[in-house]
Amino acid sequence: MEIILALLTLLTLIFLVILVGTKGNPLVLIYQFQSFTAQIVENKIQLLILSFLIILISLFVYFYYIMPNVDAGPIQPIAFSHRLHAGDKKIDCRFCHSYVDRSVHPGIPPVEKCLFCHNSIIPNHPEIRKEHHYFNTKTPTPWKKVFYVPEHVMFNHERHIKKEVQCETCHGDVKGTDRLKRHEFKMGFCIQCHKKEKANLDCWLSCHN
Residues that bind ligand HEC (CB under 6 A): 76, 78-80, 82, 84-86, 89, 91, 93, 95-97, 100, 105-109, 113-114, 116-118, 121-122, 125, 127, 131, 143, 145-149, 153, 155, 157, 159-161, 163, 165, 167, 169-171, 174-175, 180, 185, 189-190, 193-194, 197, 199-200, 206-207
Do 178 and 115 form a contact (C-beta atoms < 8 A)?
no
Closer CB to ligand HEC, residue 35 or residue 137? 137
Per the CB < 8 A criterion, the answer to whether 118 and 127 are in contact is: no
Q: How far is the CB of 101 from ligand HEC (least distance, A)?
A: 7
Cβ neighbours of residue 163 closer than 8 Å, sequence gap 6 or more: 197, 199
Q: Which is nearer to ligand HEC, 26 or 74 (CB)?
A: 74
Asked whether the beta carbons of 72 and 181 are under 8 A apart, the reply is yes
Q: Give the nearer residue to ligand HEC in terms of CB position, either 26 or 195.
A: 195
Q: Give whichever of 42 and 184 is closer to ligand HEC, judged by the CB atom.
A: 184
**Distance in angstroms (rounded) separating the CA atoms of residues 1 and 8:** 11
Angle, alpha carbons 165-168-174 (nearest 5°): 150
Give the integer Cα–Cα distance in Å for 70 and 116.
33
Least distance (Å) between residue 136 CB and ligand HEC: 15
Q: How far apart are CB 5 and ligand HEC at their closest, in Å? A: 19
Residues 6+ apart with CB under 8 A from 178: 72, 81, 82, 83, 84
One-letter amino acid identity for 56?
L
Q: How far is the CB of 73 from ligand HEC (least distance, A)?
A: 7
Q: Quick one: 65 or 155, whose CB is closer to ligand HEC?
A: 155
